[in-house]
Amino acid sequence: MDTTYNVKVWKIATYKGARGTTYTVRWTLEGKEWRAPFGTRALADAFRSELVSATRRGEAFSLTTGRPVSHQSGASSVNWYDFALQFCDTQWRRTSGNNRKNVAKALMSTTLALLRTPPNGFKPVDVRTALREWAFNTKRRNDAPPEVARILNWVERNTLTMAAWEDPAKVDEVLHALAIKLDGTSAAASSVKRNRRILNVAMEYAVKRSILRTNPLPKGRGTAPKTSSAVDKRSLLNPRQAGDLLGWIWHRPRGGRRLHAFFATIYYAGPRPEEVVAMHVQDVRLPNEKDTDQWGELLFHTARPEVGKQWTDTGEIHEERGLKGRASDDTRPVPCRPALTRILREHISAEELKPGDLLFPGENGGMLAGSVFRRAWRTARQKVLTPDEYASPLGRRVYDLRHTCLTTWLNNGVPPAQVAEWAGNSVPVLLATYARCISGQLKDLQKRIEAGEALPDRRGEE
């Protein structure tokens, strides 16, 4: 480690801002200025006293971290790669398959940014795969094939220590690596924010384990890209477009009628795709065929997201979970309108399904694969939509059928609290997501505004 004895410690700088007062300790090493902000003067005084005491003892300072060598004993003795494996194993025990996958991706990008030298002896794609699919997968790590083990051994030998996190320049370098894709373009804001959130949890874990003194990631406004949860209005389908797409799928030779009923359930009832694939026939309560009122009821109580068998505890591609944002044994009833009632009754009869069967089984009787229904939906868009519509966000994702359903309910005057209950959202989340898509109520709102008490017109009075 490069060190120096050329140290100067300055007075504490005080900054009074709108969000509070910050006390910053400043010092220089070989003319390069270092800073450490604190929320109270007492903390700043204590840290400055440590720096002054170190200079009086004749202690060397690290040019990498800016701190006295004695401050770095914990961080410099821990390899980042070893710490990342430990953090991964801790998270694995208490997170879902999708979260495990996201943690692996974030740690992969971070590890690549903390290598001493580029992996010249291996292909970059092989290094990324070894880290993402093996090193940061608690379930598979010990079964890594020899070629992967060689890569991981090299990574362990060539990774910086945790002391690198105490160098602000290195922290900025890592955050930049998390914000770009492999081709050098900017990553989606949502991906960047997710990676930073995972990395922040890792840093807090390092502080808890006394490996780092403080969380080195920047805090406050502007440190992470802004994201919006609002639905893009251009992605919503009108009834004609939805009818044309579902009609084409119904005539699809291979499994078309089954997929037609699957997509119709999302379009008319608004569930998430992972909730629909988990439905059983007994979760559909249909009225008697002689009943003129054909409204039924759908019961949602389980979700089966597709995350990949290497990320689940059971080794299955789908992970069984409770409904999003609810207790594990909660059930969400949703009304089944007459059009969907007829579709589901015909589907159950044509497939000869029993009450305990999956409502939408795959071709071999198992879970309906996401790759199957996504491929069918992409093909339908390509065949049905115009070139301009196909290139637009219009119905680009299967999830847009849910967005269309919920927006339709809101536009038809269904109270937001009721829509939120049927959709499995909270009211604030619902309004933040769909407020921009509510339309057709402007004239009524204008009349309500005009009906309010107006100021008397006193123009012309003396």
Look at strands 284-285 and 32-38 and give their pairing. Answer: unpaired
Instruction: Tell the residue number behind the tokens 């390899």, with chain if given.
Output: 79
CB neighbours (10 Å) of residue 140? 14
CB 7 within 8 A of CB 28: yes
The runs of H, that is alpha helices, within 224-337 are 239-250, 256-269, 273-276
pLDDT digits (tens, 9 = 90+) for 326-364: 767 789 999 999 999 999 999 999 999 999 999 999 888
Hey, what amino acid is at 417?
A: A
CB 401 within 8 A of CB 390: no
Dihedral sign computed on CA atoms, order 395, 341, 301, 316:
negative
Bridge partners for 336 per DSSP: 296
pLDDT digits (tens, 9 = 90+) for 284-295: 998 887 665 689
Contacts of 4 (CB under 8 A, 6+ apart): 29, 30, 60, 61, 63
Dihedral sign computed on CA atoms, order 207, 209, 212, 213:
positive
Residue percentage of the chain with pLDDT more than 90: 57
Q: H or E stretch including 299?
A: strand 296-300
Average pLDDT, the chain: 87
Q: What would you report as the CA-atom Rg of the chain, rounded to the nearest whole angstrom?
A: 29
Judge whether residue 442 has pLDDT over 60.
no
Per the document, the length of the chain is 462
Look at strands 20-29 and 7-9 and give their pairing. Answer: antiparallel
> Tokens for 56?
């009086």
Output the pLDDT for position 3. Answer: 83
Helices and strands per DSSP (H, E), number in the chain: 18, 9
Confidence of residue 147 (pLDDT cuts 50, 70, 90): very high
Judge whether residue 64 has pLDDT over 80.
no
Output the pLDDT for position 336. Answer: 95
Which is more confidently placed, 460 or 26?
Answer: 26
Phi first, then psi: give them for residue 39, nearest 5 degrees: -85, -20
Q: Coil, strand or helix: which one is 78?
A: coil
CB neighbours (10 Å) of residue 416? 19
Bridge partners for 318 per DSSP: 306
Output the pLDDT for position 151. Answer: 94
Average pLDDT of the segment spanning 1-6? 80
Bridge partners for 306 per DSSP: 318
Q: Rounded to an integer, what distance in angstroms lies between the CA atom of residue 271 and that of residue 173?
A: 41
Q: Rounded to an integer, what distance in angstroms lies between the CA atom of residue 70 and that of residue 51?
A: 11
When mean pLDDT is compared across 7-11, 251-255, 435-439, the lowest value belongs to 435-439
Per-residue CA distances from 186 to 112, 164, 249, 342, 393 (Å): 17, 24, 36, 47, 20
Cα angle vertex 37, ends 29, 53, to 5°?
50
Confidence of residue 121 (pLDDT cuts 50, 70, 90): confident
Tell me the longest C-alpha to C-alpha distance in the chain: 97
Cα angle vertex 67, ends 62, 73, to 5°?
80
CB 134 within 8 A of CB 140: yes
Which is more confidently placed, 330 or 268?
Answer: 268
CB 276 within 8 A of CB 424: no
Average pLDDT of the segment spanning 304-316? 89
Look at strands 61-62 and 3-4 and give their pairing. Answer: antiparallel
